[in-house]
Chains A and B, each alone.
Chain A
Amino acid sequence: QVTDLIASGQTINTAGKASKTFLDLQQSLNWLEQEFQVSIAYQDEIVKAKKTRAKMDSFESVEQALTVLLQGTGLKYDKAGERFYIISQKKPSQVPSLNSQETVLVNSFPASNKINGGSTFSGIENAKVEKRRVEIGGRITDENGSGFPGVNILLKGTTTGAVSDAQGNYVINVENENSVLVFSFVGYVDQEIVVGNQSVINVQMEVDESNLEEVVVTALGIEKSAKSLGYATSTVHSDELSINRTPNVMNALQGKVAGVSISALGSGPGGTSKIRIRGQSSISGQNNPLIVVNGVPIDNTNFGSNPGNNASDSSIGVRGGGNTSDGGDGLSSINPDDVETMTILKGAAAAALYGSRAKDGVIMITTKSKNDSKGIGVTYNLNYTNEAPLDFTDYQYEYGQGEQGVRPTTPNPTSGQWSFGEKFQPGMTQVLFDGVTVPYEPIRGRVKAFFRNGQNVTNSITLATSSDKGGMSLSFSDLNSKGIVPNNTYNRKTINLGFAYNLSPKFSFRGNFNYSHEDNENPPNIGQQDNTIPVALYNMANSMPLDVLRDNRYDANGNEAVYSRFRNRTNPYFTLSDQFQNIKRDRIFGNIALKYYLTDWLFVQGRVGQDYWSRDQDYNNFPTGQASRAPAPAGFVNGVYTQEQRRFREINTDFLINANKKFGELGVNVNFGGNHMQRRSDLNSVQVTDFVVRDLYTVQNGRAKDPLYDLNERAVNSLYGSAELSFQDKFFLTGTVRNDWFSTLSKENRSILYPSVSASWVFHENLNTTGWLNFGKIRAAYAEVGSDADVGAYSNVLFYGINNNLFGGQPVGGPNGTNLPNPNLRPMRIGEAEIGFELSMFQSRVSLDMALYRKLTTDQIVSAQISDASGFVNTSINSGKSENKGVEMLLTVVPVESNDFTWEASMNAAYNITEVLSLLTDQPGERITVGTHVFNGELRQIVGMEMGQVAGFGYRRDEQGRKIFGANGIPLRTPDLVNYGSALPNWVGGFTNSFNYKGIMLSFLIDFKLGNIMLSGTNFNAVRHGLHKMTLEGREGGVVGDGVNEAGEINTAVAPVQSYWEVVRSQALVEPVIYDGGYWKLRQITLGYDFTKHLPANQPFKSVKLNFVANNVLMLKKWVDNIDPESFGYSSDNLVGMESTGLPSTRGLGFNLNVKF
Chain B
Amino acid sequence: CDSNFDELNTNKVSATSIDPAFQLNAAIVGCAYPNGSLIYDIGVVQQIISPNSGVLTGANYNQDNRNATQELWQGYYRNVIKNTRDVINRIQDQPERSNLLQMTRIIQAFAFMVLTDDYGSIPYFEGGQGYSQQVYLPVYDSQEAIYEDLIKELTEATSALNLSGRVETADILYAGDLNKWKSFGYSLLLRAGMRLSEVDAGKAQQIVQTAFQGGVILSNDQNAVILHDPNYTNTIGNLLNSTEASNFYLTAPFVDYLRSKNDPRLSAIAITYVGAKSGPEQTVASGTYDASVHVGMPMGNDNAGAVKAASDLGLASFYEFAQADRRRVAKNTAPNFLVTASQNNLLLAEARHRGWITTGDVESYYNAGVRAHMEQLGFVDENSAIPSDEVDAYLAANPFDASKALEQINTQYWISSFMNGPEAFANFRRSGYPILDTNPFPGKEVDFINRLTYPNSEISVNSENVNAAISSQGPDNLATKVWWDK
13 extra interchain contacts, Cβ-Cβ under 8 A, other than A802-B15, A968-B443? Answer: A414-B279, A562-B279, A567-B245, A711-B11, A811-B19, A867-B123, A868-B78, A868-B455, A870-B128, A872-B78, A932-B457, A1058-B302, A1066-B67
Residue of B1, B238, B241, B445 with highest tally of chain A CB at under 10 A: B1
B85 at the interface (CB under 8 A from A): yes
In the complex, whether A928 has a CB less than 8 A from a CB of chain B is yes
The answer to whether B142 has its CB under 8 Å from any CB of chain A is: no
> Which of B37-58 touch A at CB < 8 Å?
52-55, 57
A707, CB-defined interface residue at 8 Å: no
Contact of A750 (CB < 8 Å), options: B5, B55, B333, B442: B5
Instruction: Report if A629 contacts B (CB, 8 A).
Output: yes
Would you call B243 an interface residue if the criterion is a C-beta within 8 Å of the partner chain's C-beta atoms? yes
22 residue pairs A–B, Cβ–Cβ below 8 Å: A410-B317, A414-B279, A562-B280, A567-B242, A630-B237, A714-B8, A715-B5, A715-B8, A717-B2, A747-B5, A799-B16, A800-B16, A803-B26, A805-B231, A810-B172, A814-B27, A814-B83, A870-B130, A870-B138, A872-B82, A977-B459, A1068-B67
Whether the pair A812, B26 counts as a contact (CB closer than 8 A) is: yes
Q: Return A110 CB to nearest CB of chain B, in Å.
A: 55
3 pairs of A and B residues whose beta carbons are closest in the complex: A412-B278, A404-B304, A870-B130
Per-position 1/0 for A136-161, Cβ under 8 A of B: 00000000000000000000000000
Q: Quick one: closest A residue to B244, CB to CB?
A: A567
Whether A240 is near chain B, meaning CB under 8 Å from some CB there, is no
Complex contacts, B231 vs chain A, CB 8 Å: 689, 704, 805, 807
Chain B nearest Cβ from A679, distance in angstroms = 10
Give residues in A with beta carbon < 8 Å to B: 403-406, 410-414, 434, 555, 561-562, 565-568, 627-633, 689-690, 703-704, 709-711, 713-715, 717, 719, 739, 741-744, 747, 750-751, 793-794, 796-803, 805, 807-808, 810-816, 818, 820-821, 864-873, 875, 927-929, 932, 935, 938, 940, 951, 953, 966-970, 975-977, 1024, 1055-1056, 1058-1059, 1062, 1065-1068
Interface contact B64-A1066, CB-CB below 8 Å = yes
Interface size on B, residues (CB 8 A): 101
Give bound CA distance, A632 to B78, whole Å: 27
* Docked-complex contact B131 and A871, CB < 8 angstroms: yes
- Of B53, B74, B79, B131, the residue contacting A798 (CB under 8 A) is B131
Q: Which residue of B lies closest to A632 (CB)?
A: B230
A869 touches B122 (CB 8 A): yes
Beta-carbon contact of B442 and A968 below 8 Å:
yes
CA distance A944 to B371 in the complex (A): 64
CB within 8 Å for A414 and B456 given contacts A709-B13, A714-B8, A799-B11: no
B403 at the interface (CB under 8 A from A): no
Residue B458, interface by CB 8 Å: yes
Please tell me if B486 contacts chain A, counting CB pairs below 8 Å. no
Instruction: Write the nearest CB–CB distance from A827 to chain B, whole angstroms.
Output: 13
Contact B461 A928 (CB under 8 A): yes
Are B332 and A630 in contact, with the CB atoms below 8 A? yes
Taking CB atoms, residues of chain A closer than 8 Å to B233 are: 630
Chain A residues lying within 8 Å of B74, measured Cβ to Cβ, are 868
Question: Given A412-B281, A629-B242, A630-B332, is A867 in contact with B462 using a C-beta cutoff of 8 Å?
Answer: yes
Complex-state Cα separation, A1058 to B456, whole angstroms: 23
Rounded to whole angstroms, the CA-CA distance of A390 and B172 in the bound complex is 56
Residues of B whose CB lies within 8 Å of any CB of A are 1-2, 5-6, 8-19, 22-23, 25-27, 29, 52-55, 57, 61, 63-67, 73-74, 77-79, 81-83, 85-86, 122-123, 126-131, 135-138, 170-172, 227, 229-233, 237-238, 241-247, 277-281, 302-305, 307, 317, 332-333, 442-445, 455-463, 465, 476
Asked whether B135 lies within 8 Å of A870 as measured between CB atoms, the reply is yes
Interface of A is mostly: loop
Residues in A with CB closer than 8 Å to B303 are 403-404, 1058
Q: How far is the CB of B298 from chain A (nearest CB, A)?
A: 16
Task: Evaluate whether A797 and B16 lie within 8 angstroms (CB atoms) in the complex, with A814-B23, A869-B77, A1059-B302 already known.
Answer: yes
Report yes or no: B170 in contact with A811, Cβ–Cβ below 8 A.
yes
Contacts A404-B304, A1068-B67; A690 near B230 (Cβ below 8 A)? yes
CB-based contact A717/B1 at 8 Å: yes
Nearest-CB residue, chain B, relative to A406: B304
Q: How far is the CA of A741 from the CA of B67 in the complex (A)?
A: 45
Cross-chain contact of B9 among A565, A794, A800 (Cβ < 8 A): A794
Taking CB atoms, residues of chain A closer than 8 Å to B442 are 968, 1056
Residues of chain A lying within 8 A (CB to CB) of residue B86: 814-815, 871
> B133: shortest Cβ distance to chain A, in Å?
9
Q: Is A1062 within 8 A of B54, CB to CB?
A: yes
A1090 CA to B362 CA in the complex, in Å?
102
Asked whether B461 lies within 8 Å of A865 as measured between CB atoms, the reply is yes
Known A-B contacts A868-B457, A968-B444; A1067 and B5 likewise in contact (beta carbons under 8 Å): no
State whether A800 and B18 are in contact (beta carbons under 8 Å apart), knowing that A810-B171, A871-B128, A977-B456 are contacts in the complex: yes
- Closest A residue, CB atoms, query B132: A871
Cross-interface CB contact of A815 among B131, B135, B172, cutoff 8 Å: B131
Q: Which of A403, A412, A704, A935 contacts B279 (CB 8 A)?
A: A412
**Do B2 and A751 have beta carbons less than 8 Å apart?**
yes
Asked if residues B278 and A411 are in contact (CB atoms below 8 Å), the reply is: yes
- Given known pairs A568-B243, A870-B129, A870-B130, the reply for A1062 and B53 (CB within 8 Å) is yes
Residues of B within 8 A of A633 (CB): 230, 332-333
Contact A869 B123 (CB under 8 A): yes
A917 to B77, CA, bound (A): 32
CB of B82 within 8 A of CB of A811, answer no
The CA of A951 and the CA of B281, in the complex, are separated in Å by: 43
Measured between alpha carbons, how far is A945 from B427 in the docked complex, in Å? 47
The smallest C-beta distance from B479 to any residue of chain A, in angstroms, reads 12
Least CB distance from A176 to B in Å reads 64
Q: Look across to chain B and name the residue whose beta carbon is closest to the beta carbon of A717.
A: B1
Name the residue of chain B whose CB is nearest to the CB of A816.
Answer: B14
**Most A CB within 10 A of own CB, among B29, B232, B442, B456:** B456
Contacts A813-B26, A929-B461 hold; do A565 and B136 have CB atoms under 8 A apart?
Answer: no
Cα distance A793–B53 when bound, in Å?
Answer: 44
In the complex, chain B residues whose CB is within 8 Å of the CB of A709: 13
Complex Cα distance, B5 from A712, in Å, reads 13
